[in-house]
Amino acid sequence: MSEEEQADEAESAETAEDTEAEGADASDESEEPESTDEADESESESGIQNGDFVRLDYTVRTIPDEDDEDDEGRVVDTTREDVAEEAGIDDDDYDFSPRTIVVGEGHVFASVDEDLVGKAAGDTNTVSVPADEGFGEFDPEDVRTISAEKIPEDDRYPGAQVTVDGDQGYLETVIGGRARVDFNHPLAGDDLEYEYEILELVDDREEQAQGLIGMYLQEVPEVRIETETVEEEVTVEPDEDSETPEESREAGEAGDDEDAEPETETEEVEKESLYIEATPMMQMNQQWMFSKQQIAEDIMDRLDLDRVVIEEVIEGGGGMMGGMGGMMGGMGGMGGGEEMEEALDDVDLDDVDVDADELVEELEDEELDAEE
C-alpha cells in the first residue's frame, strides 16, 4: 500500500472516531435529568390547581416596620379564635372558623393564590404580601380637609368612620368648622404576611356552595342540592328527512310569515336546584339584599347548577298579631242580645246620648230578621 493510500485510510479512521464521539456526547445530553423548572412544573400539576376548592386556616399580620422599634406588627384577620383572643380582637360578631376559597379566583391575595398551586392538604406556609398588592400604598393626597358640616355631629370625634360624598374615611381632627379626614384604607402602606394551613380539598358541592356564600356574607346558611323533574316547553325542530315536498313548501310559506310562532311541545327535564335557607340575619345583610342575583349566578356557574331557590325563614314575632287576630275574632262573635247587654252594662253611658235598652232591642230584631 502506498504512503498516500495509508494517509487516506488514517484520515478516514479519525473521522469515524470523531463521529462516534459526537454521537456519544449527544446520547449523554439526552440522558441528562430534567431541569429544575420542568420538575417544578410537573410537581405543580400534581397538586392543587386553579379552580380547586380548598378549606384554609389563616392569619394575616402586618410586618413590623424596621425603622420603628415600637412597631411589633398586629393581627388584622384570622380564622383562629385563640389567635384573635391573644391579639385582643373583639370576637362577639365574628365567626372564627376555616374559610373555603377557590384557588386562582382572587379570593386571597395574588401571591397566596400562586403559592397554593401545587400544594396539598396539610401543607403550611407564610407568604409576604407587599403593600401595593395588599391594600395599596399610602397616598398623602387622600388626606383632605373638608367642611365639618359634611359630617353628622354625632360623628365629629377623632377615629370616627365617616362617609363624605360617597367616600369612606376616618376622621383625624376637627378644628373650628374644618375637619381633617383620611380616605386611605386603614392598612394602606402596610406590608403583610399571610400564614396559612391547607386543611382539606372540598369536593362536596353543598359545602362548596356554603363556602362561596360565606365569602360574600361572612355567614354560612343551610343549603341543599336537589334534582327535580320539571315540565318545560321546547321548540320542535322539523324533521326534514320525513317531510314530503308539499309539507316542505307549506313550512317555507309559514316561515315567510313573520307572525308565525314556532311549534312547541312540553317535555319533562331534570334540573339541579340549590336551596338556600335565608335566615332573618341574612335577609338583613346589605350585601345579600343588593347582590343576591350576582351571588346566585356565580354559584350556578361554578357548580353547574340550573337554578337557585331562596327560602326565607321567619321566626317568632307573630304572637302580637295572633293575639290581635283572636281579639278581633272574639268581638265579631258577639251577636247574642244577652251578651251585648252585659257588655253595655260595663260601659259608662252617662255622657252618651244612647238608650242601651233600645239599642239591644234593635239588635235583637235585626238578628231575628237575619235568621228568617
Per-residue pLDDT tens for 5-39? Answer: 555 555 555 555 555 555 555 455 545 555 555 55
**What's the pLDDT at 230?**
81
Q: Calculate mean pLDDT across residues 95-118.
A: 93
- Kindly indicate the confidence band of residue 114, based on its pLDDT and cuts at 50, 70 and 90: very high
pLDDT at 268: 85
Q: For cell 404580601, what's the residue?
A: 129
From residue 83, alpha-carbon distances to 27, 78, 226, 311 in Å are 57, 7, 39, 36
Q: Binning pLDDT at 50, 70 and 90, where does residue 250 land?
A: low
Predicted local confidence at residue 327, as pLDDT: 37
pTM metric for this prediction: 0.63
What does residue 86 show for φ and ψ, rounded to 5 degrees?
-65, -35
Quote the mean pLDDT of the chain.
Answer: 78
H helices within 195-285, ranges in order? Answer: 205-217, 245-256, 280-283
Whether 131 and 190 have beta carbons less than 8 Å apart is answered as: yes
| pLDDT number for residue 262 | 77
3-state class (DSSP) for residue 195: strand
The dihedral region occupied by 242, where left means phi > 0, alpha psi between -120 and 50, and beta the remainder, is alpha
What CA dihedral angle connects 149, 155, 156 and 162, to 10 degrees? -70
* Most confident stretch, 71-75, 93-97, 312-316: 71-75
Q: How confident is the model at residue 334 (pLDDT cuts 50, 70, 90)?
A: very low
Q: Please give the share of the chain, as a percent, with pLDDT higher than 90.
A: 44
* CB-based contact 274:299 (threshold 8 Å): yes
Domains delineated in the chain: 45-131 (3.10.50.40), 140-182 (2.40.10), 204-233+262-312 (3.30.70.2210)
Is residue 127 within 8 A of residue 108, CB to CB? The reply is no
Q: Which three cell numbers stand for residue 98?
A: 376555616
HSE-up of residue 125 (Cα within 13 Å, Cβ side): 16
Q: What is the CA radius of gyration of the chain?
A: 39
- 198 strand-pairing partners: 56
DSSP for 95-108? --S-EEEETTTTSS
Q: Which residues neighbour 274 within 8 Å (Cβ) at sequence distance 6 or greater?
A: 209, 223, 224, 225, 299, 300, 303, 305, 307, 308, 309
> pLDDT-derived band of residue 205, with 50, 70 and 90 as boundaries?
very high
